[in-house]
Amino acid sequence: MFDIEGYYEAKSVEDAVRLLAEHEDAQIISGGTDVLVKLRDGKDAGGSLVSIHEIRELHGVRLQEDGTLEIGPATCFTDLTNDPLIRRYVPYLGEAVDTVGGPQVRNQGTIGGNVCNGATSADSAATLQTLNAVVVLQGTDGIRRVSVTEFYTGPGRTVRRHDEVCRAIEIRPEDYAGFTGCYMKYGKRAAMEIATLGCCVRVKLDQEGRTIKEARIGYGVAAPTPIRCPVTEAALAGCSVEDDRIYEMIDSGVLGEVRPRSSWRASKEFRMQLISEMARRALKEAIRRSLNGEAPGVAAQDGKGGDQAC
């Protein structure tokens, strides 16, 4: 039995917003794989829950007219990994969330919870940073859109207000078209492990596949919040993929842009080593995937996910 005072099942997003506004002690529960673990631990005990578990409109991935991918926040990790749109346009996001917990947790835990719990160790965090993903929040005052790069305010803290519900996570075509990517996770075990470090590197090459047009580097657990490395990203733009110095650039460059801490999971020194090595390996893999022709175009709304030239 969980130590909660009240339980409210929201029928719609509007309903959830109203319930949250009415109950100051309430928190949102979606998949429950974080909230119930914390409750069991005695954290937030005696509070209330507003459940968005049964709101169907928050499930699934949709394609908007302009090619934007709209991810329902209550989509569980397993469904995200297997979703045809995700597999085609942002497969590395599906790979990233496939490293969360174990299969049963991935059948319940949601992408919205992974973002809104504010954890720097969230497995989707590094990848969503590199995608400039937009969190769509609906509250009493209406809807607003916040980039994930401006979403986090500290460990476990975000700009989401008490009465706001995440109603979508959007990925715009300019942030996925032409890019490949690779997410790497380091943990002491291969499964059922919280990331000691997570790193996502994405690249967009020129048409000949010789030069990096754009690089994006995102990390989880390299700072109190998920971060990007804009200075190193800018330095890599214009570099030849055949020049091995790009790997030295990335592994020394990122060290100046991260702020890892020592924790019981790993020391700061070890994390610094991981930060360099994982960036180097993820860059190599992202380039390999690009050269292998895996970069997608813009998703066109023809029901078949056909590409347009990008």
User: Judged by CB, which is closer to other proteins: 102, or 306?
Assistant: 102
Minimum CB distance to other proteins, residue 105 (Å): 5
- The count of residues interacting with other proteins (CB under 8 A) is 26
Alpha carbons 310 and 298: distance in angstroms, whole number: 6
Of 4, 58, 227, 250, the one binding other proteins by CB under 8 A: 4
DSSP 240-281: BTT-THHHHHHHHHGGGT------SS--HHHHHHHHHHHHHH
DSSP 211: B
Based on the shown chain and the rule CB under 8 A, indicate whether residue 25 belongs to the binding site for other proteins. no
User: Judged by CB, which is closer to other proteins: 2, or 267?
Assistant: 2
User: Judged by CB, which is closer to other proteins: 2, or 238?
Assistant: 2
Among residues 111, 127, 103, 76, which one has the least CA distance to residue 192?
103
Based on the shown chain and the rule CB under 8 A, indicate whether residue 159 belongs to the binding site for other proteins. no
Phi and psi angles of residue 7, each rounded to the nearest 5 degrees, phi first: -135, 130
By DSSP bridging, strand 152-154 and strand 142-147 are unpaired
Of 12, 64, 107, 211, the one binding other proteins by CB under 8 A: 107
Q: Which stretch binds other proteins (CB under 8 A): 20-28, 95-103, 164-172, 294-302?
A: 95-103
Of 11, 22, 37, 252, the one binding other proteins by CB under 8 A: 37
Q: What is the amino acid identity at position 204?
A: K
To 5 degrees, how large is the angle CA 163–CA 167–CA 169?
Answer: 125
Based on the shown chain and the rule CB under 8 A, indicate whether residue 18 belongs to the binding site for other proteins. no
Residues 194-233 that bind other proteins (CB under 8 A): none
Q: How many CA atoms lie within 13 A of 75 on its CB side?
A: 25
Q: How many CA atoms lie within 13 A of 52 on its CB side?
A: 32
| Binding map of other proteins across residues 160-199, x = CB under 8 A, - = no contact | ------------------------------xxx-------
Based on the shown chain and the rule CB under 8 A, indicate whether residue 11 belongs to the binding site for other proteins. no
Minimum CB distance to other proteins, residue 57 (Å): 17
Of 32, 139, 297, 305, the one binding other proteins by CB under 8 A: 32
Of 105, 235, 255, 291, the one binding other proteins by CB under 8 A: 105
Tell me the β-bridge partners of 51.
9, 29
Alpha carbons 164 and 143: distance in angstroms, whole number: 9
| Binding map of other proteins across residues 39-78, x = CB under 8 A, - = no contact | -x----------x-xx-----------------------x
Alpha carbons 212 and 241: distance in angstroms, whole number: 6
Tell me the β-bridge partners of 12.
none
Segment (H or E) for 15: helix 13-22
Residues engaged in binding other proteins (CB under 8 A): 1-4, 7, 9, 29, 32-33, 36-37, 40, 51, 53-54, 78, 101-105, 107-108, 190-192
